[in-house]
Amino acid sequence: MERIVGIDLGTTNSLIAYVDDAGPQVIADNETGQKTLPSIVSFLPNDRVVVGREAGELARTQPLSTIRSVKRFMGLGMEHVSAEDRQRYRFVDDQGDTSSLVRFAIHDRQVTPPEVSAVILRALRDRAEAALQEEVRKVVITVPAYFNDSQRQATKDAGKLAGLEVIRLLNEPTAASLAYGLNTKEEGLIAVYDFGGGTFDVSILRLHTGIFEVLSTNGNTRLGGDDIDQSIAERFLLTELAEELRHDPQVLNSALRATEKAKQVLSDQDETVLNLAVPDKGVQLSRRLSRHEMEAAVDEIVARTLEPCRQALKDAGLETQDIEEVVLVGGSTRMPLVRQRVGEFFGRTPLTDIDPDEVVALGAAVQADTLSGRRRDMLLLDVVPLSLGIETMGGVMSHLIERNTTIPASVKEMFTTAVDDQTAVAVHVLQGERELVQDCRSLARFSIPIEPKPAGVPRVEVTFMIDANGILNVSATDLRTGLERSLEVKPSYGLTDEEVERLLEESIDFAEEDIEQRLLIEARTEADTVLHAADKALRQNAAFLQEGEEEQIDQVVQKVREACAGEDYDLIRDLTEELSQVTTPFAQRIMDSSIQEALGEKQLSDL
Amino acid sequence: MPTVVRCWRCQDEHIPQVFCPACEALQPLPPDIDYFTVFGLARDPVLDEQALANTYYDLSRQLHPDLHQTGTAEEQEASLQNTAVLNRAYRTLRDPVQRGQYWLELNGEQLGKENNKVPPDLALLVFEVQEQLAAVREAQSAGTDDARAGLKSELTQVWDDLDDRMQGLQQKLAANFSKWRQADDASDLLSGLKRVLSEMAYLRTLTRDVEKALSIF
Ligand SMILES: Nc1ncnc2c1ncn2[C@@H]1O[C@H](COP(=O)(O)OP(=O)(O)O)[C@@H](O)[C@H]1O
Ligand SMILES: [Mg+2]
Ligand SMILES: [Zn+2]
């Protein structure tokens, strides 16, 4: 029996797990012993990539070519990208004619979100292969329960691009319930509350002798710890900065890292210090932050997770008191405020026995074990999170499959022609709960080829099938001839099959960097940035230099340059640090003066 | 006479069933199979809902794609198609209104035909709800917070009323079903059954509209 492993492809962190005789376990990196792999990918100019913690470090100096939280972009079009994200990254302009799928502009190439995710998947696979000493090809990948069809398809494409066979996409909250082994219960109703870095999901399940039946699911694919960080940063850091600095990708990136760190500390302590230092931009801020202040600022975000909980309960036809167990999943549930709010809402203390970082990956491994045919005592009955339908007259969406329908689900719909000799019928597939087409998410368009006949005579039956992955498949049969008709389905926000093939071929030369080389390049890049900044400052602001300062800086610059020619990355890093330090007072003086200038201008305009 | 089908694997001929009696391979269900038959039930709108759920779980354990992942392409396809049929059948039969409507269709009766007028004692309610929904739409753009709060509590009240009525109708439906089952000649009961089902369908639509309106508060 070929092994199937489970992958939690998270917004913030990704993990890979498998099942052995001792039960499910997460596979740690052979070298570092780390179990979580930060979902960060940095693209270097030489067609090399860096993944994980090292990429996180590169983000400080190369924010534009380092993608974090790529999951937020999966299956989206450019029109769905927020203003903040547009400031954070560079995108390829919408070409208008073809689909407006998100494409990052990195160095001189275009990179789609599935390609970025594929890099993460490959790193996880390598990790598993090293640990298990065997080839790993088949995987279960988890997705937020509330992911729509395009987002699921994009995840599947990512697997394919990583050279993996995606046996199943599994909903994250459902995976968590499997990991908790709640099947020991004869009968029961549980709620899974999954609040991660970028997404929020809630699922209500009925357990019945080994069957995990999802009754309803709800959520928000754009709500998570990232929003908490953003909100803290805006409230306590960015307001202190000049307008143009607030939008600077490097400053923004550092501000978000600083707030995330402070937020995490405040899960265990009552007070911390919020620090923001971006020497090249002359930014240096520091302020005390209490848990109380932070909670007041982010309570609104936490409250936004309760509405989906209410809706999910309603869809399941249940009240809060019917729920016997609440399971917490995701890093953001470490916040005391979140635990408190969830506890109040459901009127019971939530379960937190399993590490919220690992629980989804462990559940994916359990499901992988079932799919590989090794166990038959558990069965998941999952649902489609959003209603599926087609566009009808007047721009109205007509539902074919209602949300929370158990999958696999299929429905047949008859199509005919409206005018004589019509040779095709166009179909527009949509997903969402709203009435008007413009308020729903466009999934795909296809056209049914038809032999020219008088109007109303042709009869073509189209089957819409949502498979066990929650992904839509369509097929058509000509009822007059009984023959299957092939359909060319064009995804609204996805890669076409040909594009996946092409990327698969190209991706071969997109090799991963080996670690030594990686650190060296990283150190050189960082040195380069600082050298560049120092050089520019010396040329433009020589007036601010003090006696002997230029010579002192020049000396270190020289040392850094020499080190960069060599291979010792530790030395390069140390010297870069030294250069930062000797230039800090100089940078501070430049900053002070530009602030005064800014204030001066303001006073003038106030007059 | 039931039609005979042929096993895709061993060519055995048998009446439609989930597993081939000769080689035990998973078989595709005939596309026109009725939902009662999927569950091995007689075509009877009166059924034990708990037993239905248990059969659903048992059949899921036999059919679900997760448990046929290592099978041949034919088995995987049959598992996918059959489970989709099973899920649709369960969704229809577990709900008394949908079950009733489906049963009428199987018996060549349509709900819509003679029952497409609003049932008289519902008419008033329909107008009332429509009026309130219009007020909500207005308040959306112009209303004060106080006005909105007032509307919300009124709408909630309407929802509760609709819910009460629905429960009443459900009892009526169950009673009608059992009467129908016991009667020798059920034709005169049919119209009563249809009326209840049609009222329920109306109430459903109204309830959904009210819920949609409530969701914006
Ligand atoms: N101790 C903590 N306190 C508060 N938030 C935390 C803590 N640890 C992690 N987080 C937050 O959890 C999020 C990541 O959660 P995770 O479950 O890994 O996300 P995802 O599933 O989206 O990858 C991040 O926003 C991170 O800041
Ligand atoms: Mg997660
Ligand atoms: Zn057979």
- Interface check for B60 against chain A (CB to CB < 8 A): the answer is yes
Opening angle at CA B148, ends B144 and B149, nearest 5: 115
Residue A509 falls inside a structural domain? no
This model of the complex carries an ipTM of 0.82
Question: Within this chain, do residues B155 and B192 fall inside the same structural domain, yes or no?
Answer: yes
Question: Within this chain, do residues B117 and B207 fall inside the same structural domain, yes or no?
Answer: yes
How many CB pairs below 8 A link A and B?
Answer: 56
Residue A507 falls inside a structural domain? no
Mean pLDDT (chain A) is 89
CATH number of residue A256's parent domain: 3.90.640.10
Written as one string, the DSSP assignment of B136-169 is: HHHHHHH--HHHHHHHHHHHHHHHHHHHHHHHHH
Question: Within this chain, do residues B15 and B88 fall inside the same structural domain, yes or no?
Answer: yes
Q: What pLDDT shows up at residue A97?
A: 47
Whole-angstrom distance, CA of residue A398 vs CA of residue A434: 10
Question: Within this chain, do residues A47 and A126 fall inside the same structural domain, yes or no?
Answer: yes
Question: Within this chain, do residues A490 and A523 fall inside the same structural domain, yes or no?
Answer: no
Contact between A200 and A223 under an 8 Å Cβ cutoff? The reply is yes
Write out pLDDT tens, residues A518-544: 678 778 888 888 888 888 888 888 888
Nearest ligand to residue B20 Cα? 3
Residue B51 falls inside a structural domain? yes
Question: Within this chain, do residues B202 and B122 fall inside the same structural domain, yes or no?
Answer: yes
Span A38-62, mean pLDDT?
88
Residue B105 falls inside a structural domain? no
Whole-angstrom distance, CA of residue A351 vs CA of residue A334: 12
Write out pLDDT tens, residues B35-63: 999 998 988 888 888 999 999 999 999 99
The single residue of A172, A226, A358, A369 carrying the catalytic annotation is A172
How much distance in Å is there from the Cα of A11 to the middle of ligand 2?
7
Question: Within this chain, do residues B89 and B47 fall inside the same structural domain, yes or no?
Answer: yes
Of A213, A311, A371, the CB nearest to B66: A371
Residue A503 falls inside a structural domain? no
- State the amino acid at position A267 in one-letter form: S
Q: What pLDDT shows up at residue A24?
A: 94
pLDDT at B125 over 60: yes
Question: Within this chain, do residues B89 and B165 fall inside the same structural domain, yes or no?
Answer: no
CA distance A8 to chain B (A): 19
Assign A13 to helix, strand or coil: strand
Of B61, B70, B87, the CB nearest to A408: B87
A206 contacts in chain B (CB < 8 Å): none
Residue A210, strand partner residues: none
Question: Within this chain, do residues A344 and A243 fall inside the same structural domain, yes or no?
Answer: no
Contact between A158 and A117 under an 8 Å Cβ cutoff? The reply is yes
Question: Within this chain, do residues A294 and A340 fall inside the same structural domain, yes or no?
Answer: no
Question: Within this chain, do residues A274 and A308 fall inside the same structural domain, yes or no?
Answer: no
How much distance in Å is there from the Cα of A383 to the middle of ligand 1?
26
Question: Within this chain, do residues A204 and A95 fall inside the same structural domain, yes or no?
Answer: yes
Interface test with chain A among B85, B87, B90, by most A beta carbons within 10 Å: B87
Query: Best-predicted range by mean pLDDT among A217-221, A262-266, A431-435?
Result: A262-266
Report how many domains make up chain B: 2
Assign A378 to helix, strand or coil: coil
Q: What pLDDT shows up at residue A606?
A: 44
Question: Within this chain, do residues A10 and A144 fall inside the same structural domain, yes or no?
Answer: yes
Helix (H) or strand (E) holding A575: helix A569-606
Write out pLDDT tens, residues B165-185: 888 888 888 887 777 777 666
pLDDT at A325 over 50: yes
Portion of chain A with pLDDT greater than 70, in percent = 94
A71 is a catalytic site residue: yes
Question: Within this chain, do residues A269 and A252 fall inside the same structural domain, yes or no?
Answer: yes
Q: Examine the fold and report which residue of A494, A527, A555 is the final residue of a domain before the chain moves on.
A: A494
Whole-angstrom distance, CA of residue A562 vs CA of residue A60: 23
Whole-angstrom distance, CA of residue A69 vs CA of residue A338: 21
Residue B191 falls inside a structural domain? yes
Whole-angstrom distance, CA of residue A499 vs CA of residue A448: 23
How much distance in Å is there from the Cα of A24 to the middle of ligand 2?
17
pLDDT at B132 over 60: yes
Give rounded-to-5 percent helix, strand, coil for chain A.
45, 25, 30
The single residue of A8, A227, A369, A513 carrying the catalytic annotation is A8
Give rounded-to-5 percent helix, strand, coil for chain B.
65, 5, 30
Kindly state the tokens that stand for B184. Answer: 């020798």
The answer to whether the Cβ–Cβ distance between B84 and A408 falls below 8 Å is yes
CA distance A371 to chain B (A): 5
Question: Within this chain, do residues B86 and B20 fall inside the same structural domain, yes or no?
Answer: yes
The contacts found for B29-32 with CB under 8 angstroms, 24 or more apart, are B29/B81, B29/B82, B29/B85, B30/B3, B30/B5
Residue A68, strand partner residues: A40
Pick from A66, A63, A89: nearest CA to A76: A89
- Interface check for B42 against chain A (CB to CB < 8 A): the answer is no
Whole-angstrom distance, CA of residue A281 vs CA of residue A242: 11
Whole-angstrom distance, CA of residue A453 vs CA of residue A456: 8
B65 to each of A147, A459, B91, how far by Cα in Å?
21, 31, 18
> Which ranges of B94-144 would DSSP assign to H, the alpha helix?
96-106, 120-142
Q: Which domain holds residue B54?
A: 5-94
B88 contacts in chain A (CB < 8 Å): 409-411
**CB proximity list for B125: less than 8 A, separation 6 or greater:** B161, B162, B165, B206
Tell me the helices (H) and strands (E) count for chain A, helix number first: 16, 27
Whole-angstrom distance, CA of residue B91 vs CA of residue B201: 16
Residue B44 is given by DSSP the state -
Q: Examine the fold and report which residue of A270, A302, A334 is the final residue of a domain before the chain moves on.
A: A302
Residue A373 falls inside a structural domain? yes
Helix (H) or strand (E) holding B172: helix B145-182
Q: Which domain holds residue A523?
A: 515-606
Question: Within this chain, do residues B86 and B120 fall inside the same structural domain, yes or no?
Answer: no
Written as one string, the DSSP assignment of A148-188 is: -HHHHHHHHHHHHHTT-EEEEEEEHHHHHHHHTTGGGSSEE
Which residue is listed with tokens 């179909």?
A: A427
Residue B129 falls inside a structural domain? yes
Whole-angstrom distance, CA of residue A10 vs CA of residue A117: 10
The answer to whether the Cβ–Cβ distance between B88 and A468 falls below 8 Å is no
Contact between B29 and B16 under an 8 Å Cβ cutoff? The reply is yes
Whole-angstrom distance, CA of residue B9 vs CA of residue A90: 55
Q: What pLDDT shows up at residue A282?
A: 82
CA distance B184 to chain A (A): 36
What is the torsion angle, in degrees rounded to the nearest 10, for the CA atoms of residue A247, residue A248, residue A252 and residue A258? -130
Span B117-128, mean pLDDT?
74
Residue A506 falls inside a structural domain? no
Nearest ligand to residue B74 Cα? 3
B115 vs A311 pLDDT, higher one: A311
- Interface check for A370 against chain B (CB to CB < 8 A): the answer is yes
Written as one string, the DSSP assignment of A71-131 is: GGGTT-BGGG--HHHHHHS-BPPP-SSS--B--EEETTEEE-HHHHHHHHHHHHHHHHHHH
Q: Examine the fold and report which residue of B40, B60, B94 is the final residue of a domain before the chain moves on.
A: B94
Whole-angstrom distance, CA of residue A224 vs CA of residue A246: 22
Contact between A213 and A206 under an 8 Å Cβ cutoff? The reply is yes
Residue B102 falls inside a structural domain? no
CATH number of residue A476's parent domain: 2.60.34.10
Which residue is listed with tokens 């030369």?
A: A509
Q: What pLDDT shows up at residue B116?
A: 58
Question: Within this chain, do residues B82 and B151 fall inside the same structural domain, yes or no?
Answer: no
Kindly state the tokens that stand for A28. Answer: 């740690």
Residue A421 falls inside a structural domain? yes
Q: Examine the fold and report which residue of A343, A362, A381 is the final residue of a domain before the chain moves on.
A: A381
Question: Within this chain, do residues A68 and A138 fall inside the same structural domain, yes or no?
Answer: yes
Span A469-473, mean pLDDT?
93
Residue nearest atom 15 of ligand 1, based on CA coordinates = A331
- State the amino acid at position A108 in one-letter form: D
Pick from A208, A269, A156, A281: nearest CA to A583: A281
Helix (H) or strand (E) holding A391: strand A388-392
CA distance A482 to chain B (A): 13
β-pairing, A379-381 with A460-466?
A: unpaired
**Ligand 1: residues within 6 Å at CB?**
A 10-13, 196-199, 224-226, 260, 263-264, 267, 330-332, 334-335, 357
The answer to whether the Cβ–Cβ distance between A408 and B57 falls below 8 Å is no
Report how many domains make up chain A: 4
Neighbouring CB atoms inside 10 A of A555's CB total 13
Kindly state the tokens that stand for A310. Answer: 């209410």
Report the atom number in ligand 1 closest to the C-alpha of A198: 22
Residue A501 falls inside a structural domain? no
Q: φ, ψ for residue A328 (rounded to 5)?
A: -100, 135
Neighbouring CB atoms inside 10 A of B55's CB total 18
Write out pLDDT tens, residues A11-44: 999 999 999 999 999 999 988 899 999 999 999 8
Question: Within this chain, do residues B62 and B136 fall inside the same structural domain, yes or no?
Answer: no
- Interface check for B91 against chain A (CB to CB < 8 A): the answer is yes
Question: Within this chain, do residues A311 and A454 fall inside the same structural domain, yes or no?
Answer: no
- Band (pLDDT 50/70/90 cuts) for residue A145 is very high
Span A539-550, mean pLDDT?
85
A377 is a catalytic site residue: no
Residue A531 falls inside a structural domain? yes
Question: Within this chain, do residues B179 and B134 fall inside the same structural domain, yes or no?
Answer: yes
Q: What is the 3-state secondary structure (H, E, C) of A312-365?
A: HHHHCCCCHHHCCEEEEECHHHHCHHHHHHHHHHHCCCCECCCCCCCHHHHHHH
Contact between A196 and A72 under an 8 Å Cβ cutoff? The reply is no
Please report the residues numbered 447 through 486 in chain A whose beta carbons come closer than 8 angstroms to any beta carbon of chain B. 465, 467-468
The single residue of A29, A57, A149, A194 carrying the catalytic annotation is A194
Residue B169 falls inside a structural domain? yes
**CB proximity list for A117: less than 8 A, separation 6 or greater:** A9, A70, A71, A74, A154, A155, A158, A161, A162
Q: What pLDDT shows up at residue A96?
A: 55
Question: Within this chain, do residues A55 and A190 fall inside the same structural domain, yes or no?
Answer: yes
Portion of chain A with pLDDT greater than 90, in percent = 55
Q: What pLDDT shows up at residue A607?
A: 38
Question: Within this chain, do residues B85 and B135 fall inside the same structural domain, yes or no?
Answer: no
How much distance in Å is there from the Cα of A76 to the middle of ligand 2?
19
A227 is a catalytic site residue: no
How much distance in Å is there from the Cα of A148 to the middle of ligand 2?
16
Residues constituting chain A: 607
A606 is a catalytic site residue: no
Question: Within this chain, do residues A169 and A238 fall inside the same structural domain, yes or no?
Answer: no
CA atoms within 13 A on the CB side of A458: 27
Residue B99 falls inside a structural domain? no
B178 vs A224 pLDDT, higher one: A224
Residue nearest atom 3 of ligand 1, based on CA coordinates = A264
Neighbouring CB atoms inside 10 A of A28's CB total 15
Residue B104 falls inside a structural domain? no
CATH number of residue B45's parent domain: 1.10.287.110
- Band (pLDDT 50/70/90 cuts) for residue B117 is low
Q: What pLDDT shows up at residue A95?
A: 58
Contact between A363 and A357 under an 8 Å Cβ cutoff? The reply is no
- Band (pLDDT 50/70/90 cuts) for residue A556 is very high
CATH number of residue A563's parent domain: 1.20.1270.10
Residue A51, strand partner residues: A41
How much distance in Å is there from the Cα of A315 to the middle of ligand 2?
23
